[in-house]
Amino acid sequence: MDIKKVLKEATKEIELSSNQLNLQNIKVAYLGKKGRITELLKSLKNLSLDEKKSVGAELNQLRSEVDNLIKSKFNEIKVEEINSMLKNESIDISFPPPNSISPKVHPISKTFDEVISIFGSMGYSVAEGPDIETDYFNFSALNIPENHPAREMQDTFYIEDKDKDGKPFVLRTHTSPVQIRTLLKEKPPVKIIAPGRTYRCDSDSTHSPMFHQVEGLFINKNANMGNLKGTLIEFCKQFFNVQDLKVRFRPSYFPFTEPSAEMDIAYEIANNKIKLGQGDLWLEILGCGMVNPIVLENCNVDTKNFQGFAFGMGLDRITMLKYGLTDIRSFFSGNLNWIANNGFSIGDF
């Protein structure tokens, strides 16, 4: 049994090895189940007790030497591989992404932009408020007192944390609290829109727990219902790009407007697509009315000199109508195929 010969050969093979796979094969050839050194160890059983002791010790020594040689060669090869990768590969961070990921603008983002631009052309500026509101701004200041049935109209998400009045914070159920925030900050005349996210416990093809509204508020000395209707009809003509749009105003009730109305747009469904502006079906797109003087007084507005109108429009609804989409939930599915088919190219934006 030439232990020295085995060690010499193994050492040479390990030295010459230049990649991990080859080295792994060498390891198997010497130390694997049927490897040379393993076989030698197995053959110990044929030796006498004395021989077993001395040869066994030598063989164990051989095994650990070969094992160490392989381990250190392994590290050497790894370092070499990393160095050559660093040398040969480079990342060009200015390289454009592959064509398959073409960026798209979400239909809701496009609607936001158009709504701001149409009302902007009518002289409205944009106001903002937080998604997480106090009970006072979302309800009480808007003449929706506690235990008022109007609070049931809006199934609400409450947050455990309490505001300074000891009431739980709410995810705003409408953009109307921005009316209050604006009137407390700005002296009339006021002419603002407030687009943003709103939340209610509701989910079906035309309701989503998170949805979008745009609030409108116009306060001056003599704004009236006629101005309100004219503004909304003009907006719809421009947004939907339809001149003879079939719309209707229905009398309604909101605690923060008096009188109140809801505006519906006519539509029909053909081939599973919404067709707009005609037909016998109606989709409610907004609530509106003359701002209730109680709300103005809550904001210290002089009601002898100022009055105005407000509206709250569902942006998801008008987006569905405009592009013939039938399920509001698809907007928020995060599905890349959906956005690839229904989104807009940056250039169209």
Query: Rounded to the nearest 5°, which phi and psi values hold at 126?
Result: -100, 130
Judge residue 314's burial from the number of C-beta atoms within 10 Å of its C-beta, 0-12 exposed, 13-18 middle, 19 or more buried: buried
DSSP type of residue 244: S
Nearer to ligand PHE, 25 or 140 (CB): 140
Which residues from 175-214 bind ligand PHE, rule CB under 6 A? 176
343 near ligand PHE, judged by CB under 6 A: no
Minimum distance of ligand PHE from residue 173's CB (angstroms): 7
Which residues from 259-278 bind ligand PHE, rule CB under 6 A? 260
- For the chain, the C-alpha Rg in angstroms (whole number) is 37
Minimum distance of ligand PHE from residue 195's CB (angstroms): 13
Count interface residues toward ligand PHE (CB under 6 A). 11
Q: Are 293 and 257 in contact (CB under 8 A)?
A: no
Minimum distance of ligand PHE from residue 312's CB (angstroms): 3
What the block records as the tokens of 291 is 């701002």
What the block records as the tokens of 162 is 């309490």
Minimum distance of ligand PHE from residue 289's CB (angstroms): 5
Query: Of the ranges 31-39, 162-170, 218-226, 285-293, which one interacts with ligand PHE (CB under 6 A)?
Result: 285-293
The runs of H, that is alpha helices, within the chain are: 3-16, 20-31, 36-42, 49-88, 107-121, 135-138, 150-153, 177-185, 225-240, 293-298, 315-323, 336-342
Query: Of the ranges 65-73, 122-130, 161-169, 254-262, which one interacts with ligand PHE (CB under 6 A)?
Result: 254-262
Nearer to ligand PHE, 55 or 313 (CB): 313
Minimum distance of ligand PHE from residue 100's CB (angstroms): 40
Which residues neighbour 110 within 8 Å (Cβ) at sequence distance 6 or greater?
A: 319, 344, 349
257 near ligand PHE, judged by CB under 6 A: yes
What the block records as the tokens of 199 is 């939340």
Nearer to ligand PHE, 119 or 254 (CB): 254
Nearer to ligand PHE, 104 or 317 (CB): 317
Q: Contacts by 292-300 with C-beta closer than 8 Å and gap 24+?
A: 292/143, 292/255, 292/256, 292/257, 292/258, 293/258, 294/143, 295/141, 295/142, 295/143, 295/179, 295/180, 295/256, 296/183, 296/219, 298/141, 298/143, 298/180, 299/141, 299/180, 299/183, 299/184, 300/184
Residue with the shortest CB distance to ligand PHE: 312
Which one of 219, 266, 310, 328 is in contact with ligand PHE (CB under 6 A)? 310
Minimum distance of ligand PHE from residue 349's CB (angstroms): 28
287 near ligand PHE, judged by CB under 6 A: yes
Which one of 174, 191, 212, 322 is in contact with ligand PHE (CB under 6 A)? 174
Which residues are near ligand PHE by CB under 6 A? 174, 176, 254, 257, 260, 287-289, 310-312
